[in-house]
Structure 1
Amino acid sequence: MAFQCNTPAIPTVQEENDTLRITRWDFQPGAVTGWHRHGWPYFVVMLVDGTLRIHNGKDVTDVPLVAGQSYMRQSGVEHDVMNGSPHPIAFIEIEVKRPEALA
């Protein structure tokens, strides 16, 4: 289940190799990623203060975050992410394709 929205968030892949993919995500107010599943563990680092509105298929949760704040999730997460802020937001997503290569 995804948010009903016609404004997509804009992903810009900044670096990609066999081990990592680093993507900058830019969201206008109300923009969404679209429903997706994460195939790898990933980290998110906020570039500005903002609220991520997360739809997990059942519930919608607002997650306020500040610039520089980060979090990590394991592979398998399925969700849609919306900018729940009244202003544009952006974050960096770092997907770890080969976690064993970083050990």
Structure 2
Amino acid sequence: MTVTRPAAVANLQIDNERVRVTEWRFAPGTETGWHVHPTDYVVVPMTTGELGLETRDGVAVNSLQEGVSYTRVAGSEHNVFNDGASEFVFVEIELK
């Protein structure tokens, strides 16, 4: 699995012994690229809209709402992409 879209922009805000906080900005047509999360993490959407999620099991489209957070466990492997017409922004908080 290879990156086929331009990269989303990651802005590292905090990286210390306890947490890593990154703001992700997805212009239309961008993606994170395939990656595995080594730790549990929380995502806080800063906009409302849809993001695509590619996993080994296939592709899903997730509807996300500004300020409605969700969490995932360590080992999550995926590629997140924005096929929408508007920028999508979320903050990711990785728990070390």
For Structure 1 versus Structure 2, the TM-score category normalised by the shorter chain is: over 0.9
How far has the Cα of 1:85 moved from its partner?
2.1
Aligned residue in 1 for 2:72: 73
2: CA distance, partners of 1:70 / 1:10: 20
2: CA distance, partners of 1:18 / 1:85: 35
Aligned residue in 2 for 1:82: 81
Give TM-score scaled by structure 1 length.
Answer: 0.88
1: CA distance, partners of 2:85 / 2:9: 17
CA RMSD in angstroms, aligned pairs only: 1.1
How far has the Cα of 1:48 moved from its partner?
0.5
Structure 1 segments (4+ residues) deviating >6 Å: none
The runs of 5 or more residues in structure 1 that have no matched partner are 98-103
Aligned residue in 2 for 1:101: none
Give TM-score scaled by structure 2 length.
Answer: 0.94
Greater Rg by CA: 1
Percent identity of paired positions between Structure 1 and Structure 2? 38
Aligned positions, number: 96
